[in-house]
Structure 1
Amino acid sequence: MQSMLQKLANLQYIDSRIDEITQLQGDLPDEILDIETEIARQEGKVQRLNDELKDLEVETRSLELEIESSTEKMAKYEEQQLAVRNNREYDALTKELENKKVVIKESHERIEAIALRVEEATEELGVAEAQLAKEKERFEEKKSNLDRVVDLTKKEEDVLRDKRVALEKEVDERYLRSYNRLRNGLNNGIAVVAMKDGAALGMSLPPQKQVEVRKKNKVVIDENTGRMVIDQSFFDEARKTFNL
């Protein structure tokens, strides 16, 4: 049984160190994901504004051509009016002239509206590009910090995870299930604790429980937290074994 208790201590010791490594990364992974989302949003906005400005440029050019064409046709209609032979032809040309005046007027109005929108969109684009540049700078900074932490700890973490996989195969399935259930249900992930000065995590144990822990021949459960309580010597041995 002592061998099983030692394996549980080893498992907890390894998991606690993996947790420490994860904590070193802090919120960086989540922050990076948030920044990536914001970058994608700003890139989409920049793209939409650029597309809109291109479309407005094309529309402006089309309207200018329409004005040019209508102006030429008006000159032609006015010249034709001088040569008409009856009122019906004159009235028809007059109607065409009025239509072209409307086209020219509406085209000028639309060009003015486009110019205002181009000014607004250009300003929005500048803001979006500045925000995008800022987010990319933040991303590089956060990513650099995370990469630095990962570089410092990756080798150790890989070794620990390999050892954990091997340990899981050696731990009795009943204890392993209980251990994993406790770890997943506790905020600090500590399922196995050492008894120190008659207490576990600062909570005093009943005298009978203390005696059972010192015997080192069974898994003792802390009635207050449900955690497994073992003798400190098992964790001392784990520290020597893994040199963490």
Structure 2
Amino acid sequence: MEKTQIYNFACLAYIDSLLDEYQEEFGDLPGKVKRLKHRVNELNNLVEESENTLKELRKFVKDAKTTIKDLKEKEEKLSKKQFLVRNNKEFDAITKEIEQTRANHNILIDEIRVSGIKEENLIKLLEQQKNDAKEAEAEFKEKANELEKISSEQNEEVKVLYKVRTKYFNKINKDYIKEYQRIRTHHHDAVVRIRKNSCSGCFSAVPPQKIVEIRNNLDTLFHCEQCGRILYPEEIMIDDEILG
């Protein structure tokens, strides 16, 4: 019986059920870690953008102050030049240039004032963004460590399971494997034992004649007529001994 397709299937299904249990221990943790990492990256990018904006703003203010100083000096020179003109045309031209210089000066003064307000708001925003990024980073590390701990605890046991799984997997007809994988998309317990003349997957009754056929044809797949799971006879008992 231990060399039959049905026995190998029962062993494969048992091992997969254990692997499913290990996977359930993770729950949504892997997905949560991934989402948190994405969130951390987003927040760090926002911090970087705000820092660059603040840097550019401060550079603008510094350059504007230098320009204001230059404009002030220019205005003073033009004012002195007004007293040296020889006709109204030259006077009017210098006056116009002075007015334009003052206008540019006033524009920059206003822009510096507005920039000061922007800088104040940006500093507050940046502080909040850094706090958010720090909190997200802490949560990410906590969940990542939790995930790593579970992975470490499972590591050796899961390795053993996959090794034994491969042994039974390779003994099964490849067409049967495809059928098994198809059923697994609907039912994790794709291969189930007949118990008390019933499918242990959906608990529907299995006709006596079919039970006899299953017992006499252990290299052929038989399905539950209700749920479609692969059935194996009650006499086949699978436990952790197959892992030894």
- Structures share fold, TM-score greater than 0.5: yes
1:190 matched to which residue of 2? 189
Helix, strand or coil for the counterpart of 2:170? helix
Cα displacement (A) at 1:203:
2.6
Q: Is this contact kept in 1: 2:17–2:188, CA < 8 A?
A: yes
Q: Is this contact kept in 2: 1:216–1:231, CA < 8 A?
A: no
Deviations 1:192-221 (A, max 9, x none): 001112222223323333343455634321
1:181 matched to which residue of 2? 182
Helix, strand or coil for the counterpart of 1:232? coil
Q: Distance in 2 between matches of 1:107 and 1:18?
A: 69
Q: Is this contact kept in 2: 1:28–1:142, CA < 8 A?
A: yes
Helix, strand or coil for the counterpart of 2:189? coil
Q: Is this contact kept in 2: 1:198–1:210, CA < 8 A?
A: yes
1:93 matched to which residue of 2? 94
Higher helix residue share: 1
Identify the range of structure 1 (197-206 vs 149-158) with the bigger mean alpha-carbon deviation: 197-206
Identify the range of structure 1 (25-34 vs 116-125) with the bigger mean alpha-carbon deviation: 116-125
Deviations 1:160-189 (A, max 9, x none): 112222222211223222112211x21x42
Matches within 5 A, 1:8-23: 8-23=9-24
Structure 1 gap ranges (5+): none
1:67 matched to which residue of 2? 68
Q: Distance in 2 between matches of 1:232 and 1:41?
A: 56
Q: Is this contact kept in 2: 1:195–1:213, CA < 8 A?
A: no
2:151 matched to which residue of 1? 150
Cα displacement (A) at 1:112:
1.3
Identify the range of structure 1 (40-49 vs 153-162) with the bigger mean alpha-carbon deviation: 153-162
2:82 matched to which residue of 1? 81
Q: Is this contact kept in 2: 1:191–1:228, CA < 8 A?
A: yes
Report the residue type matching 2:233 in the other structure: D
Structure 2 gap ranges (5+): none
Helix, strand or coil for the counterpart of 1:194? strand
Helix, strand or coil for the counterpart of 1:205? coil
2:223 matched to which residue of 1? 221
Matches within 5 A, 1:1-40: 3-40=4-41
Q: Is this contact kept in 1: 2:164–2:243, CA < 8 A?
A: no
Q: Distance in 1 between matches of 2:82 and 2:238?
A: 111
Identity value in percent: 25
Q: Is this contact kept in 1: 2:211–2:233, CA < 8 A?
A: no
Q: Is this contact kept in 2: 1:9–1:238, CA < 8 A?
A: no
How many residue pairs align between the two structures?
240
Q: Distance in 1 between matches of 2:142 and 2:194?
A: 43
TM-score, normalised with respect to structure 1 = 0.92
Q: Distance in 2 between matches of 1:232 and 1:25?
A: 32
